[in-house]
């Protein structure tokens, strides 16, 4: 299970929260990918339970992100959830940069050595990202075992609005 006392994480420097299962994630798009293509690939992989990507936005870069195995009772201003099927390769908190590297190069993985592997065993998990209400923008990412949860279909990356 995920340790709620683990070190604090953050929304990445591009304003994304990204999780990936590197043993099943298929990220390659093209050496000259477009943003629209990459976002479509993210949504496709999320629908298959291989990734979870949300875009809190540029104002949320480096904001605190608590990873836990249970939701708090704090009120949230927005919430998004998905389902991930975690295999032997584990579940990793990654970032937009590595996800786009995997989109550009067929031999690239969506994770790097400095990304944390989250302490979950193989199985099906519901992933819930909540932006907590209050003065500071803060986020809670709950990863909850849900063996019977059906996959969630995504048409787009949550909270991302194309110009």
- Provide the 8-state DSSP code for 109: -
Please report, for the chain, the start and end positions of each structural domain, with discontinuous segments joined by +: 9-145
What is the model's pLDDT at position 4? 47
pLDDT band at 161 (very low <50, low <70, confident <90, very high): confident
pLDDT digits (tens, 9 = 90+) for 2-22: 444 455 799 999 999 999 999
**Fold for domain 9-145?**
Substrate Binding Domain Of DNAk; Chain A, domain 1 (2.60.34)
10, with CB counted inside 10 A (0-12, 13-18, 19+), is: middle
Q: In whole numbers, what is the pLDDT of the chain averaged over residues? A: 92
Tokens standing for residue 140: 């809670």
pLDDT band at 47 (very low <50, low <70, confident <90, very high): very high
CA separation for the pair 92, 101 (Å, rounded): 16
pLDDT digits (tens, 9 = 90+) for 78-87: 999 999 999 9
pLDDT digits (tens, 9 = 90+) for 120-141: 999 999 999 999 998 677 999 9
Residue 91, helix vs strand vs coil = strand
Q: By C-alpha distance, which of 30, 85, 81 is closest to 53?
A: 81
Enumerate the β-bridge partners of residue 143.
127
Query: Cβ distance 8 to 139 under 8 Å?
Result: no
């Amino acid at each position: 299970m995920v340790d709620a006392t683990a070190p604090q994480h953050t929304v990445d420097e591009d304003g994304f929260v990204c999780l990936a299962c590197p043993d099943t994630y298929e990220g390659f798009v093209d050496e000259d990918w477009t943003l629209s293509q990459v976002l479509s690939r993210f949504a496709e992989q999320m629908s298959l339970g291989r990734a979870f990507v949300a875009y809190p936005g540029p104002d949320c870069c480096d904001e605190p992100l608590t990873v836990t195995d249970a939701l708090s009772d704090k009120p949230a201003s927005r919430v998004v959830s998905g389902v991930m099927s975690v295999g032997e390769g584990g579940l990793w908190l990654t970032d937009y940069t590595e996800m786009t590297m995997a989109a550009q190069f067929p031999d690239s993985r969506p994770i790097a050595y400095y990304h944390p592997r989250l302490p979950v065993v193989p199985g099906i998990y519901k992933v819930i990202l909540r932006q907590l209400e209050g003065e500071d923008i803060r986020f809670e990412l709950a990863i909850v075992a849900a063996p019977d949860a059906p996959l969630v279909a995504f048409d787009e990356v949550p909270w991302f609005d194309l110009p």
